Structure formats: structure tokens, C-alpha cells
Structure 1
């Protein structure tokens, strides 16, 4: 097959971009693979043809708009068997991976944004970006008589439901192809490696560690994690926050206000996430909205039980009491679940082992690449 991927920036840091890298590299061993991207980092380009798409990469709305216009001009109808668009990056897509549905995400961001301490310029550009991508989604996802329906690949059952709630997709087929984890990079650490990482990063050896990972802290519910720590001062538990946010000062103040600041570490952006996860004891993720968080799967691959809100992705992955547990958007409820889990550290370790096993069975990149290739064959067979 002759396959083209449309993704603005490809790397292994951003979740949706990482999925392109992992799948494209595997399929390039058998097919003629092309990539239309502004940047292509951490990618083996010896078997992939990279078509660099120039443009302005700031602000986000201009980055998207300049890429969108140029890639639509460059990719010609009939040029490729498969044009795989990641989201609404190109109107030429006939296979579309859906990492999130912008109108659904926008509803959450609009509500949370009122409490954020960000500049008016940032608010304006984010509003413009969300509206631009919502419009592009509608043009691509909404069924149009006379146009061949694409094949949609949402990453979770929840995203599939949102797709059909917000858009009339007509006769288009939907196949769930989830995200995955690199089970070689993300794996449980030995006790010696765990101890060494904690010493280097001033993390206590004699306490359990709940790790939170990512940016956009308001959307990902860090405030509930911090509030929970205020209820757990008598529990030997440290919250480690990996990542950063423009509104960091507000969350730091929140930690002080709870009286639990001594038990919360803001670790900043990490290049050593596999080690940070492997040196922790559980993954805490009380997010408001996700498609299927890669951080969740990578934490599970690292041998951590996943403690998260019941949102897209987590509801597909978590079996309460077996490989994690669900929490609500409430600091006191988060605290009650953490208190129970921390009282049974042996059970916590078994749940982490179960989480790792589930990733090995269902969420490896080799499996996802095969599912994607099968979807391509289905798409071609129905044309």
C-alpha cells in the first residue's frame, strides 16, 4: 500500500504524535509510507519519505491553519491508497484516527478556563484554535452526500460515542484502535533502580509515591489530587507532579493552603518519565477529559495501578480492585480511595503487576500497528 500520514509535528513526546511514529515505523517495513509534517523527530526516516510542510508554528491556531491549508494543497486526490489523518489535520483523509472530539473537549476547557490565571492573549488564541479545529472537524467528519465516507479509528469507546453524538457520520464505519505503550522503555524497575532514582530526585524512600503526569493541570484534575493530600497528612504518601503548567503558581499555592506542601513535589518536565513512573507506586489521574491518555497506559506498563476518574480510555482499561480504581472529581473521595490502597501495599503491588499484564496482552504498539493495517485493508476493500 501507498500510505500518507498527516500530523503537524511528529515526535515521541506528544501522545498523538508518538502513535504516528510507532505505527508508521512498523508499517514502513512492508509498505510505501509517506509523512506530511512540519517536524519529524525521533523517527527512523530511512524507510519513510518525509514531506516537510512549512508554516508558522505560533500561535497554535496559526500553526494549525497554515499546516492545514498547505497539506490540503500538497496531497492530491488519488495520490495515495490511504491518507491517514490524525484528527482533522487534512480534508484529504480517508482513514482518521480520533484522539479527541474538539466540541466535547471545548465544553470542559471553557468551564475550567474561568478559574485559570492565564494571559488574555493565551485565552484568545486558545479560543481561536478550538473554534478553528471544531470547524475543520465538522467539514471532515460530517457526512456529505456524494462523498465517500472515511473509516474512523477512535482510540476508545468513549471517543467513538462522542463522535456519533456531535456529528452525523452517515454510513461511515467506526473501528476502535487504542493507544499503546512501549513495553521495553516503560517497565517495572528493580528495587535498586527505584532507590537510585528517588535518591537523585530527593524523593523519600520510606513513603509510597503517587505520581501525576502531564500539563494542562486544570483539565487533568491536579487540584483534586492536591486537595486529597490535605486529607492524608497521616498517611505515608508523597504526591509527585511530573510536568509543568503556565498556571503553576496557583497550584503551588493550593498545595500550601492544604497544609500538605511538604508531601507534594513539583518535579517539572521530565525527560526520564520511564524511570519516574517505575520508581513510583501508583498513578493518580483525576482528569476531566481525555481520549485515551498515553500516560495512563505507560504508567500501567511501568507496573503501577491506575487510579483515575471514569473517563474515555480509563473506563476501557481499569477493572476496580484488579488493576486500579476509579475516583470522583472530589478531593475527599480521592483521599478515601488512596487511604484504602495505601493501607494494603502488598495488594497495591499485585494490582500493578496486573496492570502491566493487561498492557502486554492488549496495548502494545505491535498489536496496534496490526490493527491499523487491518483497518486499511478494510477501507480499501469497501471502495
Structure 2
């Protein structure tokens, strides 16, 4: 097959971009693979033809708009058998990986945005970006008479439901292809290495460690985690926050006001995420909206039980009491679940082992590449 991937920036830091890198590298061993991207980092280009798309990478809406227009101009109809667009990056896409549905995400961001302390310029550019991507999604996802529908590859059951809720996709094929983890990089560590990492990063070695990962802290529910820690002062638990956010000061103040500052470590952006995750005892993620968080799968690959809100992706992965547990969007509920789990440290280890096993069985990049290749064949063999 002759395959083109459309993704603005490809790297192994951003979730959706990482998926392109992992799948494209594997399929390039068998097929002719082209990549239309502004940047291609941490990617083996020995078998991939990279077509660099120039443009302005700030603000987000200009970055998207300039890329979108140029890739639509460069990729011509009939040039490739498969044009795999990550979201609505190109109108030429005939296979589309869907990491999120912008109108569904916009509802959450609009609500949370009232509390965020960000600049008016940031609010404006975010609003423009969300509206531009919503319009681009509608042009690509909505069925059109006389045109073969794309095949949609949502990353979770929840995203598949959002797709059909917000768009009339007609007879388009839908196949769930989840995210995955690199099980060689993200894996459990031995006890000595875990304690060594904790000492270096000033995490008490005589306490349990919960880890939260990511940016966009308001959307990912860090406030619930911080406030819950204020109710757990008698529990030997430290929360390590890996990542950063423009509203960092507000969350640090929140920790002080909750009386939890001594038990929360704001660890900043990490280049050692596999080690940071493996050093913890559980992954805490009370997010409002995700498609299927890569951090969730990577934490599970490191042998951590996943304690998360019931959202897209976690609904597919978590079996309560077996691979983790669910929490509600309320600090008291988060605190109650953490208190119960921290009283069962041995069970935390068992759930972590189960979570790792589930990743090995269902969420490896080799498996995802195979599922993607099968989806391409199904699309080419279909008449709809």
C-alpha cells in the first residue's frame, strides 16, 4: 500500500503524535509510507518519506490553519491509497484516527475556562482554535452524497459514541483502535531502583506515592486530587504531580489552602516519565475529558493500578478492584477511594500486576499497528 499520514508535529511526547510515530515506523517495513508534518522528531525516517510542511507554529489556531491549507494543497486525490488523518488535519483523509471530538471537548473547556486564570489572548486563541477545528471536523466527518465515507478509528468506545452523537456519519465504517504503550520503555522497576528515584526526587520512601501526569490541569481534574490530599493528612500518602500548567500558581496556592502542601510535590515537566511512573504505587487521574489517555496506559504498563474518573478510555481499561478503581468528580469521593486503597498496599501491587498484564495482552504498539493495517484493508475492500 501507498500510505500518507497527516499530523502537524510528530514526536513521542504528544499522545496523538506518538501514535503516528509508532504505527508509521512499523508499517513502513512493509508499505510505502509518507509523512506530511511540520516536525518529525524521534522518528526513524530511513523508510519514511517526510514531506515538511512549513508554516507558523503560534498561535495554535494559526498553526492548525496554515498546516491544514498546505497539506490539502499538497496531497492530491488518488495520489495515495490511504490518507490517514489524525483528527481533522486534512480534508483528504480517507482513514481518520479520532483522539477526541472537538464539540464534546469544547463543552468541558468552556465550563472550566471560567475559573482558569489565563490571559485574554490565550482565551481568544483557544476559542478560535476550537471553533476552527469543529468546522474542519464537520467538513470531514459529516456524510456527503456521492462521496465514499472515510473509515473512522476512534480510540475508545466513548469517543465512538461522541462521533455519532455530534456528526451524521451515514454508512461510514467505525473500528475502535486504542492507544498503546511501549512496554519496553514503560515497565515496572525493581524496589531498589524505585527507592533510589524517590530519594533523588525527594519523595518520602516510607509513604505510598500517587502520581498525576499531564498538562491542562483544570481539565484533568488536578483540583480534585489536591483537595482530596487535604482530607488525607493522616494517611501516609504523597502526591507527585508530573507535568506543568500555565495556571500552576493557582494549584500550588490551592495545595497550601487545603493544608496539603507538605504532601504534594510539583515535579514539573519530566524527561524520565517511565521511571517516575514506575516509582509510584498508583496512578491518579480524575480528568473531566479524555479520548483514551496515553498516560493511563503507560502508567498501567509500569505496573500501577489506575484510579481515574469514569471517562473515555478508562471505562474500557479499568475493572474495579482488578486493574484500578473509579472516582467521581468530587474531592471527598477521591479522598475516600484513596483512603481505602492505601489501607491495602498489597492489593495495590496485585492490581498493578493485573494492569501490566492487560497492557501486554491488548495495548502494545505491535498490536495497534496490526489493527490499523487490517482497517486499511477493510476500507479498500469496502464499497461504501
Q: TM-score, normalised by structure 1?
A: 1.00
How far apart, CA to CA, are the structure 1 residues paired with 2:267 and 2:233? 20
User: What secondary structure is seen at the aligned counterpart in 2 of 1:205?
Assistant: coil
Tell me what 1:232 maps to.
232
Q: 2:137: which partner in 1? A: 137
Q: What's the RMSD between the two structures over aligned residues?
A: 0.4
Could you tell me how far apart the structure 1 residues matched to 2:348 and 2:194 are? 16
1:199 CA drift (Å): 1.2
Q: Deviations over 1:331-350 (max 9, x none)?
A: 00000000000001000000
Question: How far is 1:153 from its partner?
Answer: 0.2
In structure 2, C-alpha distance between the alignment counterparts of 1:152 and 1:269, rounded to whole Å: 33
- What is aligned with 2:367? 367
Question: Match of 1:78?
Answer: 78
Distance in 2 (CA, whole Å) between partners of 1:260 and 1:251 is 11
Match of 2:191 in 1: 191
- Which residue is 1:3 aligned to? 3
Pairwise CA distance, 1:91: 0.3
Task: For 2:265 and 2:184, locate their aligned partners in 1 and report how far apart those are by CA, in whole Å.
Answer: 27
Q: How far apart in 2 are the matches of 1:57 and 1:231? A: 42
Q: Secondary structure at the match of 1:173?
A: coil
d(CA) in 1 for partners of 2:49, 2:200: 41
Distance 2:275 2:78 in 1: 45
Counterpart of 2:375 in 1: which secondary structure? helix
> In the aligned structure 2, how far is the partner of 1:115 from the partner of 1:240?
23
State the distance in 2 between where 1:99 and 1:215 align: 16
Give the aligned partner of residue 216 of structure 2: 216
**Deviation digits for residues 43-82 of structure 1 (CA, Å, limit 9, x no counterpart):** 0000000000000000000000000000000000000000
| Aligned pairs (5 A) from 1:84-95 | 84-95=84-95
Query: Which residue number corresponds to residue 64 of structure 1?
Result: 64
Instruction: Tell me how far apart the structure 2 counterparts of residues 34 and 379 of structure 1 sit (CA, whole Å).
Output: 19
- Tell me how many residue pairs correspond in the alignment: 383
1:241 equivalent in alignment to 2:241 = yes
Distance 2:86 2:348 in 1: 36
* Cα distance in 2 for residues equivalent to 1:292 and 1:198: 28
Once the two structures are superposed, what CA deviation does each residue of 1:7-33 show, in whole Å capped at 9, x if it has no partner?
A: 000000000000000000000000000
TM-score (norm 2): 0.99
Counterpart-to-counterpart distance in 2, 1:109 and 1:235 = 33
Distance in 2 (CA, whole Å) between partners of 1:323 and 1:46 is 39
- Counterparts of 1:161 and 1:269, CA distance in 2: 33
Could you give the per-residue CA deviations for residues 106-164 of structure 1, whole angstroms, max 9, x where no partner exists? 00000000000000000000000000000000000000101110000000000000000
Partner Cα distance (2:205, 2:317) in 1: 30
- SS of the residue 1:174 aligns to: coil
Q: Which residue of 2 aligns with 1:172?
A: 172
Instruction: Quote the residue 2:148 is aligned against.
Output: 148
Residue 107 (structure 1) aligned with residue 89 (structure 2): no
Partner of 2:96: 96
Q: Which runs of 5+ in 2 are unaligned?
A: none
- Using the alignment, how far apart are the partners of 1:280 and 1:343 within structure 2? 16
* Distance in 2 of aligned mates of 1:228 and 1:5: 42
What do residues 297-340 of structure 1 show as CA deviations (whole Å, max 9, x unaligned)? 00000000000000000000000000100000000000000000
Other-structure match for 1:159: 159
TM-superposed CA distance for 1:278, in Å, is 0.3
Q: Secondary structure of 1:210's match?
A: strand
Equivalent in the alignment of 1:289:
289
User: How big is the shift at 1:196?
Assistant: 1.1
The one-character-per-residue Cα deviations of 1:146-192 (angstroms, maximum 9, x if unpaired) are 11100000000000000000000011010000000000000000011
Corresponding residue for residue 255 of structure 1: 255
Match of 2:329 in 1: 329
In 2, Cα distance between equivalents of 1:203 and 1:270? 15
Q: Structure 1 unaligned segments of length 5 or more: list them.
A: none
Give secondary structure in 1 for the equivalent of 2:122: helix
Matched residue SS, 2:67:
helix
In structure 1, distance between residues paired with 2:347 and 2:176: 32
Q: Give the Cα–Cα distance (whole angstroms) in 2 for the partners of residues 196 and 70 of structure 1.
A: 49
Q: Deviation per CA, 1:187-211: give whole Å up to 9, x if none.
A: 0000111011111111110000000
Cross-structure match for 2:182: 182
